[in-house]
């Protein structure tokens, strides 16, 4: 049988919270992420376990089964493809697409996803730099580093963000930092750990530690 909008969301969130290592996710963490109460989460977990989508033992937290992982990754694939569509084809800003993609990701139709993927030219990354799983569900997280791990004097390329909040993305827009920007760390200010960086060999500015922690970059 089919999975509901809500079930898909739980699976997607379990995937996100369990991280690369597939760690156990707690009931409270899910309640937080789904904006529901722990009791509601417990009910849903029992249901997902019954459907064979998660491994669940009372009080022990949850992990996705293979089947659950497959569903979650397909939802992520759809989410990211729709985000590419919204930005590349409809001209939305990268700060505007998340909520709409949250809806579109649940439209069922494999046929639709595959045609959308082809229409977009089989993109490998979404507008925030997140990798798009392929049709078979292969999702390889590129091993970018966080800007805080970059040494003074190094030049790196901006490849993604950890925080997807519109306010953060808009802040980057104002700073002239976009995917592909070249960032050179000039110095770290003792006072507030902010960094002086040069963007695209071009303009220089301060970015706060908070911002640095949320920028994914690649050595070149």
Residue ranges in contact with its own copies by CB under 8 A: 86, 89-92, 96, 99-100, 103-104, 107-109, 111-112, 115-116, 119
4 touches, from its own copies, DNA, none (C-beta below 5 to 8 Å by class): DNA
Closer CB to its own copies, 58 or 115, in the complex: 115
Cβ density class 58-68: b for 16+ within 10 Å, e for less: eeebbbbbeeb
- Interface residues with DNA (CB under 7 A)? 4-7, 26-29, 34-47, 56, 58-61
* Tokens, residue 17: 């919270």
Min separation Cβ 95 and its own copies, Å: 13
7 touches, from its own copies, DNA, none (C-beta below 5 to 8 Å by class): DNA
Min separation Cβ 208 and DNA, Å: 29
35 touches, from its own copies, DNA, none (C-beta below 5 to 8 Å by class): DNA
Min separation Cβ 104 and its own copies, Å: 6
Nearest by Cα to 113 from 101, 98, 96 = 101
Cβ density class 126-152: b for 16+ within 10 Å, e for less: bbbbbbbbeeeeebeeeebeebbebee
Helices in 51-106 by DSSP H: which ranges? 66-84, 98-104
Which residues, listed in sequence order, are joined to residue 146 by a DSSP beta bridge? 216
Min separation Cβ 96 and DNA, Å: 24
Distance in angstroms (rounded) separating the CA atoms of residues 168 and 64: 30
Q: How much helix, strand and coil, in percent to the nearest 5, is found in the chain?
A: 40, 20, 40
Closer CB to DNA, 71 or 216, in the complex: 71
Closer CB to DNA, 58 or 203, in the complex: 58
- The neighbour count for residue 22, using CB atoms within 10 Å, is 13
203 touches, from DNA, its own copies, none (C-beta below 5 to 8 Å by class): none
Closer CB to its own copies, 37 or 119, in the complex: 119
181 touches, from its own copies, DNA, none (C-beta below 5 to 8 Å by class): none
Closer CB to its own copies, 60 or 119, in the complex: 119
Distance in angstroms (rounded) separating the CA atoms of residues 64 and 49: 9
Closer CB to DNA, 90 or 107, in the complex: 107
Provide the 8-state DSSP code for 193.
-
Min separation Cβ 76 and DNA, Å: 19
């Amino acid at each position: 049988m089919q999975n509901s909008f809500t079930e898909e969301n739980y699976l997607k969130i379990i995937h996100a919270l369990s991280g690369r290592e597939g760690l156990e996710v707690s009931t409270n963490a899910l309640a937080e992420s789904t904006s529901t109460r722990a009791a509601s989460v417990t009910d849903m977990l029992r249901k997902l376990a019954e459907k064979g989508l998660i491994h669940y033992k009372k009080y022990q937290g949850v992990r996705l089964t293979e089947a659950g992982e497959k569903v979650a990754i397909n939802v992520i694939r759809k989410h990211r493809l729709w985000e590419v569509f919204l930005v590349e084809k409809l001209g939305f800003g990268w700060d505007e697409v998340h909520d709409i993609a949250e809806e579109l990701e649940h439209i069922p139709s494999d046929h639709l996803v595959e045609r959308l993927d082809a229409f977009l030219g089989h993109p490998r990354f979404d507008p925030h730099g997140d990798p798009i799983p392929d049709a078979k569900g292969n999702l390889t997280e590129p091993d970018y580093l966080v800007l805080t791990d970059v040494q003074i004097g190094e030049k790196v390329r901006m490849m993604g963000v950890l925080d997807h909040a519109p306010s953060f993305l808009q802040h980057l827009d104002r700073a002239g930092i976009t995917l592909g920007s070249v960032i050179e760390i000039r110095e770290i200010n003792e006072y507030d750990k902010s960094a002086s960086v040069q963007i695209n060999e071009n303009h220089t500015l301060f970015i706060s530690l908070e911002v640095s922690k949320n920028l994914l970059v690649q050595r070149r």
